[in-house]
Structure formats: structure tokens, C-alpha cells
Structure 1
Amino acid sequence: MSDGFSNNNKNHQVIPVRFTRLYVTILVTLAVLLTIGQGVTQWRLNTVQDKIWITRYAALQRHQSQQIVKQALQIEDPNEQANFAANVAELHQVFATFERYHLEGREGRVSDQNVTIELPDRIREMYLAIRPEFEAIQSSARRMMRLQRFEEASQPDVQASLQLMLANEKPFLEEMDAIVREYNAQVRNELSSMQTIEAYLYLFTVLVLVGIGLLIIRPAARKLRQTLAQLIAAEARTTAANKKLISVNKSLKETRQKLFEATKQQYQQEINEQKVRTSYLVAGQEEERKRLSRELHDGLGQMLTAIKLQIEGLEAGLARNAAQPAANGTVPYAKNLSTLKNLITQTIQETRTISNNLMPTVLSDFGVIPALKMLAENDRSEAIDVTFETNLTPDMPRLNKDLEIMLYRVTQEAVSNAVRHAQPSHVHIGLFEKDSYLHLIVTDDGRGFKPGSKLQRQKEAEELNSVRSQTIASHESNRRVSQGLHNMQERAKLLNGKFKISSVPGKGTKVQVSIPYNTQPIHHDTY
């Protein structure tokens, strides 16, 4: 069976072609048999039908001949004198039809039904035999139809024509009956012959079908059963192989899913660890800035303030001793003390500025909105206009501490980069709440840049080769800008925010951070 199936696989078109030829042969055979049977039957039926029409019109001649005799007698009858003209007209009509039917019957045709047959010799002989009687009736009827008045009917020739018609009526009727009987006999013979032919065709069709069943369908069915058995066996083997493949595929999917889950967990763990490390790093930076701010404010700031007080006291003492001028007429060290006082005042102011930048007290005390307002005011100058706009109300709950620090640091870094490197005339800070997101947007109208441009890196390399010292400083500046952008992006990622920067050379820069916004009040500790 396996070898047979292999052969079928090698010649997979043999069986379909054989069965196609088999069915086509059967259908063609049956179609030919049915066509022949129907053709013969229809031909014989048409022949019989034509003879039936001829027989019917032949039988009508008997009735018409009787009507002619009747009308002739009424013409001659004195009681029908009043209807003489009507009887003559009726005789004209009946005789015309009778004459046409008889003449057409001699030729084997019926013009009313468009039927024409070939008359048998026996019928032709019978029509020749009846011809004298027909001509006698024909001549008598024509003489009767030529009468114009009733009185003419009593003329001897008219009476002779009437007697001739009456004498030939019976022989005509008998011979027409014989013709009709001959037609009926031939029709019965035709029907009997047709029944015999139908019986032979039916028997032949049955024999052909039996032969087809024994010689074609039976071997084909045997071959088909063998093929089906082979296909069932092959299907069983295929089903078993499919089950194994499904099992292996399922195992592979489970393994792949486990590998995917493990990889996903590892990747998520790495991301979480990176976030934790970055969070710790940022928190450490903030704590370090807070510590430096306190030390600068409480330590160095107080010390410089004390120095300033001492110098002011010294200056006051020197002023009191101003009445005792030196030998050259000047106050000793007065100019140096004034310079030292101005320098110490600038040092105190710078220390306070550094302390405020490291950790502004307004951010920890009042929140991010006042801190951003103060940042805009501090960075505003005669050359650069810095504005701040927000749709957040002052009486709203404080934001999360980490969120406020992130917003402030990103704004601080963006404004610092714009002021130091973009040479803008206007910097705008926007803080808006929309669609459950908090959007921070910092834009400037400076010279802009092309982020990640190979042309910019190539230009920097050329400048590095041409002017070493200047390019090193520019490269360091660009590196600080790039590091600042990276820091802003990392800060946004820590709070699941979206960071986007867009810039076009000569058209300014736009920095945007979008953070999911929690409208619920949050407990806020001091920094």
C-alpha cells in the first residue's frame, strides 16, 4: 500500500485524469443514447402527427359532402323558397372548403396547418378511385351554384344534376371512409413501430449502463477504494507528525515566551536599577548642593560678613584719625581699604548667588512657580528679556518635591544654555497643565543649532586642527551643552516624562518636557 501511495504521489495527476475521462465517457454515452432516442421519437411523432392532420381533414370531407347534398336539396325544396339566396350562398362556402380539402388531400398536404406528407401508393390509388364520384358531386354543385332564381331549380338539367349528386353521395362516403380507415391503420402501424423502437432503445440503454457499471465504474470504484485507503493511511501518518510538530512548536513557544519574559524582566530590572542609580545620583547631587549652599551661606558668608564689619570698623577708625594727616598730606591705606571693602562686598554677593543657584530658598519655601519667576527675573538683563507664563494658580496644592526640583533644574539648565551660547534677545518660560500632563516649554530666538549634525562635528574637527586653543574651548562648551541636555533628559525620564528638543540654525531652540500630572494634593516636606 505504501508503494502504491508513493506511485500515486509520483503520478498525482493520473487518477484525476482517469476519473475525468471515465465520467466524460459515461456522460457522452448517455447523452448520445438519449439524443438518438429523442431524435427518433420526435421524428416519428412528427410523422404520425402529420398523418393525423391529413386523416382529420379527410374525415371532414365526408361531413362536408353531406352538407353539400343538404344545401342542394334545400335549394330545390319549395318550402325553402324564401331562403333560396341564403342556401345558394351557404352552398358556395361549403363547396369551396370541400373542394380545397379534397384537392389538397390528393397531394398529401394541409395548408391550414402547413403539413405535407408523402402519400402511400395505396392512398393514391384510393383517391384515383374516388375521383369520378368527386367530379360528379363537383359538377352538380357548380350547376346548383349558378342558379339565380328559385324557378330555375325545376329545369331538367338542374334536376339531373341533383340526381347525379344524390347517386354519387353514398359511393363517395364509402370510399372516403375507406381512405380514413387506411390512414388510421397506417397511424396505428407507425405508433406500434415507434413503441418497438422505444423498447429497443430502452433495452440498449440499460445494457449500456450495465456495461458501464461492470466494465468502467466497478474497476474505477475498486481503484478509488485503494486510493482512499492509501490516503487515509497517509492522513493518519500526517496527523501523527502534525501532533508531534504541534507539541514541539508548543514547547518552542513556551520556551520563547519564558526567554522573552526573562529578557523583559532583566531589561526592566536593568532599567529600574538605572533609574534607582540615577535617582540616587540626582538626590546625592541635590543633597550635596544643599550642603554646599548651607556651608557657603552659614560658613563662608558669615566669615566674609565679619571681615566686612571689621574693615568697616577699621575704616571708621581711620576716618577718626583723618584729622592727623601723614607727612605727605594723605590718609595711609585709605584707598586700599576701600578697594578691599568693595571686593569683599562682591564676594558676599557672589557667594549668595552661588548659594541660591545651588538650592534656592524660594523653591523649598514657596514652590516651583515663585522659583521660576525669580529665575526669570535674575537672568533678565538689558540685552536679554526673560519672561515667564503659566496657567497654574498660586493657591493650587504644592507639587511633589522631586517634580518641583526637576522642573526647576531643567528650566535653569535650558535658560543657562540659551543665555550663554545662543545669544538670544528673548527667552520665554512656559509652565502649563493640559490633558492630565504638566508641560514645561523653554524657547529662545537665538542662533540655534543642528542636533547630532555630522557637519557640525566635522566643522569642530576642522577648527580643532586649525586653531587648537580656541577649538578646545568651543569643544568644551559644546560638551557642557550636550551634557546639560543629557542631564535634562535623564531627569525627565526619572519621573516618566517626555523630553523633546527642537532647534533650527538661525531660528532659535525649543525645549519641552511633558510629565504626567497628579491633581491630588501631595504632602510636601521642606528641602
Structure 2
Amino acid sequence: MSLFWRIFLLNAVVLGVATALLLWAPVTVSVPVLLTEAVILVGGLGVMLVANAALIRWGLAPLVRLTRRMATVDLLRPGQRLPESGTGEVADVIRTFNAMLERLEQERVASSARVLSAQESERRRVAQELHDEVGQSMTAVLLALKRAADTADPPLRDELRQIQEATRGSLDEVRRLLRRLRPGVLEDLGLVSALTALAGDFATHTGLTVRRDFAGDLPPLEPTTELVLYRVAQESLTNAARHADAETVTVRLRRDPDAVELTVTDDGRGIRRLCEGAGIRGMRERALLVGASLEVVPGPSGDGTTVRLTVPVPPAGPVPPGPEPFALPQPAPSAARTDAQDL
């Protein structure tokens, strides 16, 4: 029975009982009204109001839950559904809302895949241009400076040496940016080696202590999954350096019976009031691509912050072939080495 008819019938019952009492019961209303008559009328009105309030609250409770969920739903946290309680129009509204959430989550995953695919493509393009244009140009400058310094007089030679060292430092910075844009180690040596290189590079350039704890029995993962794990670790380390005011960061990668779990824990000031910025939401979007779950919680001792990414492991067997949502770039062909160590 629909909500309209439930409310209508209850009101009809209450009004019918009141009419019957006035018709057949020895109830009269005097002028002026007597105290007993006032008590009966006020009591009847109270019963009718309470009955109506109880029915309306019971009938509208699913809609209240629906309103709260609509105000708090986040497509980056999939699976938020309402129980299909109630009957009639209320149940139809809840079923429609759940179906709408399902469609929106699927569309969000598809749109995130397109955006991240474009982002990775742009990273590859920029990395390739850094390699082919900036890196080669700076290498040529280093060679020219070396030749000029070898033939210059001592005062000018010292200045050229200083310029050469400054240029070499800039070239090293370009290499670091290139590794961040395109994780070549991930393509060539796998996830553990890539995370090891990432942690070492991060410790070198930030001065923080980075501890590594990587399991050796990881299952074979698809390239997209490995890239998501790498990017989440990269963003977590960056957040720890920028915002946590930490001294030590621990990166762990271990295998559960049916999942691979990446945790990045720092000993910084922690999260008193989590405000998810673009970095954390970007990590959540990446997690959606591989059906993973992402948690940002306080550290084990209550201090610091832990970022935990849990990726489900597919059933044992070969990794299915086929195109990925975004494919990893192929390694660039190695060029002849120079004393400037070309990119």
C-alpha cells in the first residue's frame, strides 16, 4: 500500500471513530464547555495527532535516510547503498537511487580511466621531450664546456668548471623529473625494484629516512595495477614530505591471501582533521581503476599518518592479454654514452 493510502486510511479511521462517538455515545458539548468535555476532546485530538505522527514518521523514515545518503555520498567510495525497505513509492525511490548510484559509479570509473590515460600519455610525451630535447641539449652544452675548459687559461678554466658543474646539477634534476614522469625501472625491472628506486630517490632529495619492507612472494600483477601501486606510493611520499613534517617514512608491500597491500606510514604530525585535497582524491580515482580500496588513517601508535591501498589479487593463472586502460610506455632505445651520462 502506498504512503498516500496509509495516511488517508488512518485519518479516515480516526475521524470515523470520532464521528461515531459523537453520534452514538452520550457525548455532548455544552456552552460553555465543561471540564470533562474538554478533556475528552483534547484527548481525542491528542490520540489523532500521535497516530498520524507515528505513521508519517514510519512511512517517511526511508526517505530521511535517502536524503542523508544523498548529502554524503561520494563516488570515490563505491558500494554505498541503501536497504530497500518500505513499500510502494518509497521502495521504488530507493531502488531507483541505488540503480542511479551504480550507473554513476560505473561512469566515474570510465571517466577516471580516460582522464588518467590522458594524464599518463601526457607524462610520457613530456618525458620524451625532456629526454630528446632538453637532455640532449644540456649534454651538448656539457661537452662544449668541457672542451672549452680543457683549452682555456686557468682563471677562465675555473669559471668554466663551475658552469659545467651547475649544468651537470641541472641535468641531474632533469633526470629526476624524468624518472618521476616515466618510471622506467617499473617497465624494465618490476614493481619492487621501482619502489626501491623511488624510496632511495625520495630519501636523497628530501633528507628523510625511508624504510622499506617488501615481501618477496608477490603474485604477478597487471601493468595497470603495478602503475597504480607505484603512483599511490609516489603521491604518499610526496604528501609526507610536503605536509606531514615527518622524519621517517616506512613503505611496506605485502601479500594477503587474496590481496596485495601497500602501506606508507610516516611519523609526522598526523591527521587531526582530514581535508582531502587533489592528491588524495587522485589516489582514490586510481584505486577505483583496479577495484582497490584506499584508506587514510592515523598511524599505528596514533601519531603520523598511514595510507593503505589494498588491491585484490586475481585468481591464480596467467595474466590475461589485451590492452590495458592505459599502457606503460616502451623503453627508449639506449644512446651512445658520453662523459655527461646522457639521459
| SS of residue in 2 equivalent to 1:377 | helix
Among candidates 420, 424, 429, match of residue 242 of structure 2: 420
Match of 1:341 in 2: 164
Q: Which has the higher helix share?
A: 1
Among candidates 365, 369, 373, match of residue 192 of structure 2: 369
Tell me the distance in 1 between the aligned counterparts of 2:149 and 2:243. 43
Match of 2:107 in 1: 273
Q: How much does 1:488 deviate? A: 1.5
Tell me the distance in 2 between the aligned counterparts of 1:422 and 1:353. 22
| SS of residue in 1 equivalent to 2:268 | coil
Among candidates 250, 257, 263, match of residue 435 of structure 1: 257
Query: Are positions 1:355 and 2:174 aligned together?
Result: no
1:502 and 1:313, CA in 2 relative to 1: closer, same or farther beyond 3 A? same
Among candidates 289, 292, 295, match of residue 494 of structure 1: 289
Match of 2:128 in 1: 294
Contact 2:296 2:308 (C-alpha < 8 Å) held by counterparts = yes
| SS of residue in 2 equivalent to 1:447 | coil
Tell me the distance in 2 between the aligned counterparts of 1:354 and 1:523. 32
Q: How large is the RMSD of aligned CA atoms in angstroms? A: 3.0
| SS of residue in 2 equivalent to 1:389 | strand
1:371 and 1:523, CA in 2 relative to 1: closer, same or farther beyond 3 A? farther
Deviation string 1:125-173 (CA, Å, 9 cap, x unpaired) is xxxxxxxxxxxxxxxxxxxxxxxxxxxxxxxxxxxxxxxxxxxxxxxxx
Contact 1:451 1:503 (C-alpha < 8 Å) held by counterparts = no
Residue identity in the other structure for 2:250: H
Among candidates 304, 309, 313, match of residue 517 of structure 1: 313
Match of 2:210 in 1: 386
Tell me the distance in 2 between the aligned counterparts of 1:421 and 1:258. 46
1:378 and 1:256, CA in 2 relative to 1: closer, same or farther beyond 3 A? same
Residue identity in the other structure for 1:486: R
How many equivalent residue pairs? 241
TM-score (norm 2): 0.62
Residue identity in the other structure for 1:494: L
1:523 and 1:373, CA in 2 relative to 1: closer, same or farther beyond 3 A? farther
Tell me the distance in 2 between the aligned counterparts of 1:296 and 1:10. 91
Residue identity in the other structure for 1:316: D
Contact 1:499 1:513 (C-alpha < 8 Å) held by counterparts = yes
Tell me the distance in 2 between the aligned counterparts of 1:486 and 1:10. 64
| SS of residue in 2 equivalent to 1:432 | strand
What runs of 5+ residues in structure 2 fail to find an aligned partner? 1-15, 22-85, 322-326, 330-343
Tell me the distance in 1 between the aligned counterparts of 2:249 and 2:157. 44
Residue identity in the other structure for 2:313: Y
Superposed counterparts of 1:459-478, under 5 Å: none
Contact 1:365 1:526 (C-alpha < 8 Å) held by counterparts = no
Q: How much does 1:288 deviate? A: 0.8
Q: How much does 1:261 deviate? A: 4.7
Contact 1:384 1:425 (C-alpha < 8 Å) held by counterparts = yes
Tell me the distance in 2 between the aligned counterparts of 1:492 and 1:262. 26
Deviation string 1:230-262 (CA, Å, 9 cap, x unpaired) is xxxxxxxxxxxxxxxxxxxxxx96766665554
Larger radius of gyration: 1
Q: How much does 1:277 deviate? A: 1.2
Match of 2:64 in 1: none
1:260 and 1:447, CA in 2 relative to 1: closer, same or farther beyond 3 A? closer
Contact 1:410 1:488 (C-alpha < 8 Å) held by counterparts = yes
What runs of 5+ residues in structure 1 fail to find an aligned partner? 1-5, 12-251, 323-329, 454-480
Among candidates 266, 291, 299, match of residue 444 of structure 1: 266
Q: How much does 1:515 deviate? A: 1.6
Deviation string 1:152-211 (CA, Å, 9 cap, x unpaired) is xxxxxxxxxxxxxxxxxxxxxxxxxxxxxxxxxxxxxxxxxxxxxxxxxxxxxxxxxxxx
Q: How much does 1:506 deviate? A: 8.0
Match of 1:471 in 2: none
Match of 2:59 in 1: none
| SS of residue in 2 equivalent to 1:380 | helix
Tell me the distance in 1 between the aligned counterparts of 2:320 and 2:184. 18
Higher relative contact order (CA 8 A, sep 6+): 2
Tell me the distance in 1 between the aligned counterparts of 2:87 and 2:271. 49
| SS of residue in 2 equivalent to 1:513 | strand
Residue identity in the other structure for 1:416: T
Q: How much does 1:334 deviate? A: 2.6
| SS of residue in 1 equivalent to 2:277 | helix
Contact 1:437 1:516 (C-alpha < 8 Å) held by counterparts = yes
Aligned-residue sequence identity (percent) comes to 27
